């Protein structure tokens, strides 16, 4: 059977980094409150000329370089974002032209913080059904543009950034979990929970861009239950247990969600990649940003078994098991 394998990873952050103390100069909050409740210390905030598109292009170029490929080698771009440069066309088409790719397929997917898991799963399916041979899967966001800076309950939690992976196809024996590649993915959505996390604007409703609204406590509760469940689901399908995992690369929303989810699965905290302290919640960018960080600092090694997971507005959630 053919399998999608990760050939390279890349990421990009806006140059401006903002500490909790700096934020507390303009928002009624404190380093102590943010650190204790979320584990967040810093976030990067995009300058006006830095957009979801420019961050995505930088991350894509770094992933291509790591894979030793050129833009013209790619025939599929799936870009996850909730903060596109324009209502249309898809930000993926901006990346396409910037990397010098003139054919193939390019589109965006919208699943907010789960966006990268959705994009990865879609790209994996398309490659394995012959719709392309090499894909760029990107998560990129500028959430700072849709934050209500008067709402201290949300604005302290998010940051901007982008991450990307290049996927290619390799042949592996059916069910061989030791061979490289995406072993399985699982996605979920439950639209009944719209009001827990949403943006109060949009082209077809208010004609405005809108701001993020969130019921933090309820999101927290759903996150721990849903993430533990979906991780158990994918591991069980492969006949694996949490003891087989080398690294969990979770969506970086909040250190307390990461701790509670790891505890529920009986995973030691040393196996969880944590970047939320440095990047805050970058929505669709957070999983590939954390993945690239841990690949480049040497934590994640070839052959490691990775579990990626995320939950976000919708609610949507998902997980993927990858032999890196």
Which positions touch ligand ACO (CB under 6 A)? Answer: 29, 33-34, 37-38, 113, 152-153, 156-157, 197, 214, 216-217, 219-220, 223, 251, 253-254, 257, 281, 311-312
Contact 101, 94 (CB under 8 A): no
User: What's the min distance (Å) between Cβ of 252 and ligand ACO?
Assistant: 8
Q: Is 194 a catalytic residue?
A: no
Nearer to ligand ACO, 167 or 311 (CB): 311
- Give the DSSP H or E segment for 97: helix 91-98
Q: Which of 113, 155, 254, 279 is catalytic?
A: 113
Tell me whether the omega of the peptide bond preceding residue 89 falls within 30 degrees of 0, making it cis. Answer: yes
User: What's the min distance (Å) between Cβ of 170 and ligand ACO?
Assistant: 32
Q: Which of 44, 193, 222, 251 is catalytic?
A: 251
Nearer to ligand ACO, 99 or 320 (CB): 320
CA end-to-end span of the chain: 17
Q: Residue 169's closest CA among 181, 178, 179?
A: 181
Q: Is 61 a catalytic residue?
A: no
CA distance 230 to 210: 31
User: What's the min distance (Å) between Cβ of 140 and ligand ACO?
Assistant: 16
Nearer to ligand ACO, 225 or 238 (CB): 225
- Give the DSSP H or E segment for 309: strand 305-312
User: What's the min distance (Å) between Cβ of 122 and ligand ACO?
Assistant: 20
DSSP-H helix ranges across 106-215: 115-128, 152-155
Q: Is 251 a catalytic residue?
A: yes
Provide the 8-state DSSP code for 40. -
* Site of tokens 């609610």: 315
b or e along 279-288 (b: 16 or more beta carbons within 10 Å of the residue's beta carbon)?
A: bbbbbbbbbb
Provide the 8-state DSSP code for 287. H
User: What's the min distance (Å) between Cβ of 96 and ligand ACO?
Assistant: 28
Residue nearest to ligand ACO (CB): 216
Nearer to ligand ACO, 37 or 271 (CB): 37
Nearer to ligand ACO, 37 or 264 (CB): 37
User: What's the min distance (Å) between Cβ of 188 and ligand ACO?
Assistant: 13
Show the tokens assigned to 34: 């943010």
Show the tokens assigned to 159: 């940051």
CA distance 91 to 252: 23
Tell me whether the omega of the peptide bond preceding residue 315 falls within 30 degrees of 0, making it cis. Answer: yes
* Site of tokens 């394995």: 128
Sequence-distant contacts of 202-211: CB under 8 A, at least 24 apart: 203/87, 209/145, 209/146, 210/146, 211/146, 211/147, 211/148, 211/151
Which positions are annotated as active-site residues? 113, 251, 281
């Amino acid at each position: 059977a053919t399998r999608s394998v990760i050939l390279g990873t890349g990421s990009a952050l806006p140059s401006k980094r903002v500490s909790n103390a700096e934020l507390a100069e303009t928002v009624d909050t404190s380093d102590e409150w943010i650190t204790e409740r979320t584990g967040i210390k810093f976030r990067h905030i995009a300058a006006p000329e830095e957009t979801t598109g420019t961050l995505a292009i930088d991350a894509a170029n770094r992933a291509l370089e790591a894979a030793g490929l050129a833009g013209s080698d790619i025939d599929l771009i799936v870009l996850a974002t909730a903060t596109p440069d324009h209502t249309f066309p898809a930000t993926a088409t901006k990346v396409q032209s910037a990397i010098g790719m003139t054919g193939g397929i390019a589109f965006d997917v919208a699943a907010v913080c789960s966006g990268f898991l959705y994009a990865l799963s879609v790209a994996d399916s398309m490659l394995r059904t012959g719709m392309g041979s090499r894909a760029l899967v990107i998560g990129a966001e500028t959430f700072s543009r849709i934050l209500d800076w008067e709402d201290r309950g949300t604005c302290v939690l998010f940051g901007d950034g982008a991450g990307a992976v290049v996927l290619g196809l390799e042949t592996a024996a059916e069910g061989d979990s030791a061979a490289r590649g995406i072993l399985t993915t699982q996605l979920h959505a439950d639209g009944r929970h719209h009001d827990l996390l949403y943006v109060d604007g949009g082209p077809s409703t208010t004609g405005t861009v809108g701001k993020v609204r969130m019921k933090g406590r309820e999101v927290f509760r759903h996150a721990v239950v849903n993430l533990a469940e979906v991780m158990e689901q994918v591991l069980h399908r492969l006949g694996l247990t949490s003891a087989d995992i080398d690294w969990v690369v979770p969506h970086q929303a909040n250190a307390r969600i990461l701790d509670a989810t790891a505890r529920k699965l009986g995973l030691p905290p040393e196996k969880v990649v944590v970047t939320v302290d440095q990047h805050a919640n970058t929505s669709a960018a957070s999983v590939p940003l954390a993945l690239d960080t841990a690949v480049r600092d040497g934590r994640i090694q070839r052959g490691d078994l990775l579990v990626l997971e995320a939950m976000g507005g919708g609610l949507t959630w998902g997980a993927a098991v990858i032999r890196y």
